[in-house]
Amino acid sequence: MRKPGLVESKRHLVGLAIIPVAALGAMCVGVISGLGAYDITVSAWDREISLSTQAATVADVLAAVNISLSPGDKVEPSLDSPVEDGMEIRVERATPVFVRFRGRTFPVFTTEDQVSQILSAAHIQPEPDDVVYPGLDETIAGGEIIRVAKVTFGEVTEEQEIAFDVQRREDSSLEAGLSRVYKSGVPGLVQVIYQVKYEDGVEVSREEKARKIVRDPSPQILLVGSAQEVSRGGRNIRFERALEVTATAYCPCAKCCGPTAVGMTSTGVPAARGVIAVDPRIIPLGTRVYVDGYGEAVAADVGSAIKGHKIDVCFDTHEEALAWGVKKTKVYILR
């Protein structure tokens, strides 16, 4: 004979055991349904990747698609943002911009292109007197340089010369074309005070603030010849102007003119006494002259070494040319 209520009790216990198992099953179903994949898009540089992922954060997504970040790279949304279905993740690669600040030049990796934003990213706050190149509102490209220059001011005193005047006085005892310094000029002296602007220690501009005359200039007195007649060998020689020259000598021989000498000048006139070589820029060819210590001649030859106030007088013999040597003399341009 069974005891009343025993079967009912067991059934009751079994029913109690079934309730938690059913609840656990419902919970498991809920967890499994929460592990569904998210459809997202990653835009990185020139690439666009569409994928389904169970990653939890943006950082996990980038790791899953092998995108590594460098300092300054920009990611939107932020790396710790949770992944959502339909999300678009954008990655912008930073490029280096160089900043020159207080004597140092260093790179700043950034995705910004405005100068003020780049300096802010580099934790640089220009002082009120600093100047920034390019300007804070300007934009630049990667690889370019931003210069933040420290501006300082200083005072500089300089002494400068004041040019003297030249006073010309006619002198009838001096040949026309010649001049002599009768009294040397003395430059004056002025003291000038400047306010100087420096950028990073380098002068960029200056402004005159004051000046003081220390010494007045003294003029030069120059005697200018006016005589157009001289006496030589008992005769009066009238001329247009005189030149002071260095005179050398030559003759038509091979020693003076080379082994191919034919005794003719460059103008076709026979090389002989009474012919001189000149620089045509100073004495035109064909000009009649009187050479002190030599006599009358005509400018009818040139020479590679005859430049400026130099002449070469011709003699008939080599001995005469050697005897002349090199002399300082005067040439009178005849009328």
All structural domains of the chain, each given as residue ranges with its CATH number in brackets, are 38-92 (3.10.20.90), 97-149 (no CATH), 153-223 (2.20.230.10), 237-334 (2.40.40.10)
Q: What is the pLDDT of residues 66-83, one digit of tens each?
A: 998 988 899 999 999 999
pTM of the model: 0.56
Of the listed ranges 29-38, 174-183, 275-284, the one predicted with least confidence:
29-38
Alpha helices in the chain (DSSP H): 6-33, 58-64, 115-121, 254-257, 318-324
Burial of 192 (0-12, 13-18, 19+ CB in 10 A): middle
What whole-number distance in Å separates Cα of residue 195 and Cα of residue 198?
A: 10
Q: What pLDDT, on the 0 to 100 scale, is given for residue 160?
A: 97
Cβ–Cβ under 8 Å, residues 289 and 332: yes
In the chain, count H helices and then E strands.
5, 21
Q: What pLDDT, on the 0 to 100 scale, is given for residue 80?
A: 95
- Other beta carbons within 10 Å of 319: 10
Confidence of residue 34 (pLDDT cuts 50, 70, 90): very low
Q: What pLDDT, on the 0 to 100 scale, is given for residue 292?
A: 97
**What average pLDDT does this structure show over 105-120?**
93
Asked if pLDDT for residue 13 goes beyond 50, the answer is: no
- Give yes or no for a cis peptide into 134 (omega within 30° of 0): yes
**What average pLDDT does this structure show over 196-211?**
96
What whole-number distance in Å separates Cα of residue 104 and Cα of residue 96?
A: 16
Q: Which tops the pLDDT comparison, 72 or 243?
A: 243
Phi, psi of 259 (to 5 degrees): -65, -20
- CB neighbours of 96 closer than 8 A, spacing ≥ 6? 107, 108, 109, 142, 143
Burial of 123 (0-12, 13-18, 19+ CB in 10 A): exposed
- The two beta strands, 188-199 and 104-110, are unpaired
Q: What is the pLDDT of residues 15-26, one digit of tens each?
A: 333 333 333 233
Cβ–Cβ under 8 Å, residues 177 and 209: no
Q: What is the pLDDT of residues 244-298, one digit of tens each?
A: 999 999 998 888 887 767 788 989 999 999 999 999 999 999 999 999 999 999 9
Q: Which residue type does 71 have?
A: P
Burial state string for 273-312 with b = 16 or more CB within 10 A and e = fewer than 16 = ebbbbbbeebbebebebbbbebeebbbbbbbeebeebbbb
- The two beta strands, 220-227 and 166-175, are parallel
Six-digit token string for 217: 């200039």
- CB neighbours of 272 closer than 8 A, spacing ≥ 6? 252, 314, 316
Q: Which tops the pLDDT comparison, 29 or 58?
A: 58
**What average pLDDT does this structure show over 148-154?**
95
Asked if pLDDT for residue 222 goes beyond 50, the answer is: yes
**What average pLDDT does this structure show over 316-321?**
95
Confidence of residue 330 (pLDDT cuts 50, 70, 90): very high
Confidence of residue 238 (pLDDT cuts 50, 70, 90): very high
Q: What pLDDT, on the 0 to 100 scale, is given for residue 21?
A: 32
Asked if pLDDT for residue 5 goes beyond 90, the answer is: no
What whole-number distance in Å separates Cα of residue 272 and Cα of residue 256?
A: 13
Asked if pLDDT for residue 2 goes beyond 60, the answer is: no
Percent of the residues in the chain that have a pLDDT greater than 70, as a whole number: 89
Q: What pLDDT, on the 0 to 100 scale, is given for residue 260?
A: 65
Cβ–Cβ under 8 Å, residues 91 and 69: yes
Six-digit token string for 287: 């000009």
The rounded mean pLDDT for the chain is 88
User: Among 221, 240, 237, which residue's Cα sits nearest to residue 229?
Assistant: 237
DSSP per-residue letters across 246-294: EEEEE-SSHHHH-TT--SB-TTS-B--TTEEE--TTTS-TT-EEEETTT
